[in-house]
A = this chain, B = another copy of it.
Amino acid sequence: MSPGKQAGTLYGVGVGPGDPELMTLKAVRLLGRAQVVAYPAPEEGESLARSIAQSHIPPGCAEIALRLPFDPNRSSDAAFAAGAADVAAHLAAGRDVVCLCAGDPMLYGSFIALSARLDGRFAIKIVPGVSSLTASAAVLGQALAARDDTLTVIPATRPAADIERLVLGADSAAIVKLGRHVAKVARVLERLGLAERARYVERVGLPGERVRTLAEAVAEGAPYFAMILVHRRGEAWKA
């Protein structure tokens, strides 16, 4: 950074789960004046966060795609290090960077790992977004939690024993990131006598959004962006 020049600020901006209308006014305002945007993306193909926000990206804005391996068995360290270096170069030159995050930046967002690499060196501000958690509850018409209910959010990647213990311990559970783990989760819910109460939705707010029965999802397969909501007291709070 040249002397006297103030570093830019990194904004982690939630753009909601998929429907561009679920962006906040603040996200739209920050994006509209952005000189540099960044977003996670697969190694090949389109970024979900960018596709949600694309109509608000100003012409001439510089773009940084953080190309992350989708395979959880491959390390994303190198990709994050390269992306953080690109972002840091803009910040050091005095330009703000708006990092677009599908859903909310602080709830299973790759922004968490990016910002951990830049924290302490640059100012970071976070703009929360609508999460796929509440968006899924809206589509299903199913309360996540009411009154003094407890709610546990469980990635389906966890072992079956963890999922069983956590579902048993909470009033309400949201089991996220189903993908190839859907059959394992269904077996846990059957064992607990909760399969009938489980409600399933996939690709909320995206093309291909679908509500199916859990049995259908097990038989036909579930995408990564799929979620089960289950409330131990059943349908009492259904909207």
17 contacts between A and B (CB under 8 A): A12-B138, A16-B24, A21-B24, A22-B127, A25-B28, A104-B130, A106-B143, A107-B151, A109-B143, A112-B143, A112-B239, A119-B238, A130-B130, A145-B153, A148-B158, A150-B162, A152-B170
Listed in ascending order, the chain A residues whose CB lies under 8 Å from chain B are 12, 14, 16, 19-26, 28-29, 104-109, 111-113, 115-116, 119, 124, 126-131, 134-135, 137-139, 141-155, 157-158, 162, 165-166, 169-170, 236-239
Interface of chain A: mostly helix, strand, loop or mixed:
mixed
A130, B106: Cα distance in complex, Å: 12
Cα-based distance from A112 to B143 in the complex (angstroms): 7
* Identical chains in the assembly: 2
Top 4 A-B residue pairs of the complex, sorted by shortest distance between their CB atoms: A106-B137, A126-B138, A21-B26, A115-B239
